[in-house]
Amino acid sequence: MHPDVEALLALQADDQAIRVLEEQLAAFEPRLRAMAQARTAAADGVAGAQAALAAEERRQRDLHEQIARHKQLHERNVAHLDAVKRMRDATAAVAQVEAARRILAEEESDLQAVTRRVGELRAAVEAQERSGGEMQAQHAVEQEEIAAQRSEIEGQLTIARTARAGLATHVNRPLLSKYDRIRSARRDGAIYALRGPSCGNCDTSVPMQRRNVMAASGTIEVCETCGVLLYAGA
Ligand SMILES: [Zn+2]
């Protein structure tokens, strides 16, 4: 086999190994992205639940204060009712006391509902925080595994790239740049052996005269149909 062919085949084997390793590295990305998105969504969920809880707690405090104020007012009205002597004033005072009592009853029932919602929202916040924490722990384990796998693959890649640089010095410059150009356009292979009378990649037949030259001198030709490098196999 012509040394150029031998050198290019070694280079191509290494390039393919590098490609596989690069694809393995890239394959981690969607999982890492999905995990990051899930964590963001969980954090947003916790923040939303906390905000809803805070709003309801504010409402609960306001109602407490309002009820306390109205109770005071009511007590004053009741005291006033005891104090009034004349019938006409007493009727008005009774109506006032009754109205205040109704308002207070409504407010008390509002407060009960708000207190119930505060309890529910607190439980929701706790549940979201718990599941977020569990997810975080799971992700930490998985991220550590991925980091270990990645660093192993990166180590292999460094070795393969160093080997590639060494192999490239064995190929003459014009041929190497031709190979690199073809390889950057079509990643699955740049140099093929003839298969019988045809291109090993696209199967277009190569004229006999060119094949004879290739076989005799070991030269590398370009397939006129698919553009890959061709050599006469053993
Ligand atoms: Zn071809």
Residue 229 phi, psi (nearest 5)? -80, 140
What pLDDT sits at residue 135?
96
* pLDDT for res 180: 94
Ligand 1 center to residue 189 CA distance, Å?
11
Q: pTM, whole model, 2 decimals? A: 0.73
- The residues, any chain, with a CB within 8 Å of residue 16's CB and separated by 6 or more, are 189
Record the tokens describing residue 131, joined without a space.
Answer: 């599941």
- Evaluate whether 199 touches 162 at the Cβ level (below 8 Å): no
Q: What's the pLDDT score for residue 137? A: 97
Q: Are strands 229-231 and 221-222 parallel, antiparallel or unpaired?
A: antiparallel
Distance 205 CA to ligand 1 centre (A): 8
Question: What type of residue is 13?
Answer: A
The pLDDT value given to residue 154? 98
Spatial neighbors of 164 by CB under 8 A, at least 6 apart, are 11, 14, 15, 18
CA of 184 to the centre of ligand 1 (A): 16
Q: How far is the CA of 194 from the centre of ligand 1 (A)?
A: 9
Q: How far is the CA of 196 from the centre of ligand 1 (A)?
A: 13
Interval between CA 20 and ligand 1 midpoint (Å): 24
Question: Ligand 1 centre and the CA of 175: distance in Å?
Answer: 18
Could you report the per-residue pLDDT of 132-188, keeping only the tens digit for each?
A: 999 999 999 999 999 999 999 999 999 999 999 999 999 989 999 999 999 998 878
The CA 228 to ligand 1 mean position distance, Å, reads 6
Q: Rounded to an integer, what distance in angstroms lies between the CA atom of residue 121 and that of residue 83?
A: 46
Strand partners, 2: none
Provide CB contacts within 8 A for 24, sequence distance 6+.
153
170 CA to centre of ligand 1 in angstroms? 25
Cα-to-centroid distance, 193 and ligand 1 (Å)? 10
Beta bridge partners of 229: 191, 222
Among 1.10.287.1490, 1.10.10.1150, 3.40.50.720, 3.30.70.20, what is the CATH number of 10-170? Answer: 1.10.287.1490
pLDDT at residue 234 in the model: 64
Long-range contacts of 152-160 (CB under 8 A, 24+ apart): 153/21, 153/24, 153/25, 154/25, 156/21, 157/18, 157/21, 157/22, 157/25, 160/14, 160/17, 160/18, 160/21
The pLDDT, as a whole number, for residue 80 is 85
Check whether 190 has a pLDDT greater than 80.
Answer: yes
3-state SS, residue 195: strand
The mean-pLDDT minimum among 2-6, 27-31, 63-67 falls in 2-6
| Domain boundaries for CATH 1.10.287.1490 within the chain | 10-170
Q: What distance in angstroms lies between residue 102's CA and the mean position of ligand 1's atoms?
A: 93
pLDDT digits (tens, 9 = 90+) for 82-140: 888 777 778 888 888 899 899 999 999 999 999 999 999 999 999 999 999 999 999 99
Amino acid identity of residue 152, one-letter, is: E
| More confidently predicted of 233 and 212 | 212
Q: How far does residue 123's CA lie from ligand 1's centre (Å)?
A: 68
State pLDDT tens for residues 46-88: 999 999 999 999 999 999 999 999 999 889 888 888 888 777 7
